[in-house]
């Protein structure tokens, strides 16, 4: 199923129809968010995870449809909607429709959003990366997961990392500017290693990642340090809202007038060879962990996810 050309072989997070880029994400209480998460934050993140998919394709937000379940008296949902609205207003994403349904008593909430963006001059796929391309990450890695860990240790924790966990920022501006030049681009949401592996597989290349070049925020380094363990955490914890782009090696994204404050780091390259990832640090290979990223099991917690349908069991 789902083998229509518009589906891009399901190797992508989005579908493209005419000049529109369309993506859908669903989040489940107890799987992608937890009862202690503020509902407004859950709403914000549902929008952000969709916008991150659009950003990765260089699309500009055009409209969204919300699938809202109502459980109990609707008080949680009112606060959830305030977060959806805040994100939609922040990123000029009009809410243009959807569906609202009641849940049986006690059922976990399941919330979905279809976001639609207008494609730019070029809509990069996951596939399309070429041996010799430079790999760049837009945004920093691990902040949101580290913020969640702070909250687990202290439910009242307040920090820059907690703020990012609660209100992550999709890289829309940078995505639009980089997409026309990208051979491949996708959002990093499940962990850099897992997502880079997906790009390597889709593009038929080896993705070599230099851990010394990982973009880590000051807040992250202050909280978890910058050693190899911290970098492995940042590259595998997931819940990022960053972009991974395969660019021609001669392109310097600094010349693209990215939005002020954008963090962008050259973290590796694509090489010819059977698809896999390879990590190096200090010039030496780093052994890969068993778990490359967040794999969407219902007994794990990962705040938001974006598995392609092909991942279904």
Minimum Å distance from CB 164 to its own copies?
23
Tell me the per-residue interface mask from 20 to 59 with its own copies, x by CB under 8 A, - otherwise. Answer: x-xxxxxxxxxxx---------------------------
Q: Is 11 in the site for its own copies (CB under 8 A)?
A: no
- Contacts with its own copies: how many residues (CB under 8 A)? 68
Residue 233 or 294: which CB sits closer to its own copies?
Answer: 294
Distance CA 22, CA 18 (A): 10
Q: Is 201 in the site for its own copies (CB under 8 A)?
A: no
Q: Is 85 in the site for its own copies (CB under 8 A)?
A: yes
Minimum Å distance from CB 31 to its own copies?
6
Q: Is 66 in the site for its own copies (CB under 8 A)?
A: yes
Please pick, from the candidates 79, 266, 296, 301, the single residue that binds its own copies as defined by CB under 8 A: 296
Please pick, from the candidates 103, 221, 251, 256, the single residue that binds its own copies as defined by CB under 8 A: 103
Please pick, from the candidates 261, 282, 283, 313, the single residue that binds its own copies as defined by CB under 8 A: 313
Residues that bind its own copies (CB under 8 A): 1-2, 4, 6-7, 10, 12-15, 17-20, 22-32, 62-63, 65-70, 74, 77, 81, 84-85, 88, 94-105, 107-108, 110, 112, 114, 116, 296-298, 305-309, 311-313
């Amino acid at each position: 199923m789902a083998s229509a050309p518009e589906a891009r072989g399901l190797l992508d997070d989005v579908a493209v129809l005419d000049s529109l880029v369309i993506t859908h994400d669903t989040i489940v209480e107890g799987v992608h968010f937890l009862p202690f998460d503020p509902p407004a934050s859950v709403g914000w993140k549902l929008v952000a995870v969709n916008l991150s998919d659009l950003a990765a394709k260089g699309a500009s937000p055009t409209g969204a449809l919300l699938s809202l379940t109502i459980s109990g008296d609707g008080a949680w949902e009112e606060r959830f909607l305030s977060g959806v609205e805040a994100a939609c207003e922040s990123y000029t994403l009009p809410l243009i429709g959807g569906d609202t349904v009641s849940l049986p008593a006690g059922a976990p909430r399941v919330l979905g959003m279809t976001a639609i963006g207008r494609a730019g001059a070029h809509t990069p796929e996951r596939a399309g990366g070429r041996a010799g391309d430079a790999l760049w990450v837009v945004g920093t890695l691990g902040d949101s997961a580290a913020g969640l860990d702070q909250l687990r240790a202290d439910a009242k924790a307040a920090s820059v990392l907690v703020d990012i966990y609660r209100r992550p920022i999709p890289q829309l501006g940078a995505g639009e500017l980089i997409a026309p030049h990208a051979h491949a681009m996708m959002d990093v949401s499940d962990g850099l290693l897992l997502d880079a592996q997906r790009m390597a597989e889709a593009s038929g290349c080896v993705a070599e990642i230099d851990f010394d070049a990982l973009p880590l925020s000051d807040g992250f380094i202050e909280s978890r340090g910058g050693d190899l363990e911290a970098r492995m955490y940042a590259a595998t914890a997931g819940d990022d809202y960053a972009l991974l782009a395969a660019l021609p090696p001669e392109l310097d994204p600094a010349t693209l007038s990215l939005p002020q404050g954008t963090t962008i780091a050259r973290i590796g390259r694509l090489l010819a060879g059977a698809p896999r990832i390879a990590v190096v640090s200090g010039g030496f290979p780093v052994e890969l962990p068993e778990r490359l990223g967040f794999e969407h099991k219902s007994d794990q917690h990962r705040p938001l996810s974006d598995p392609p349908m092909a991942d279904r069991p």
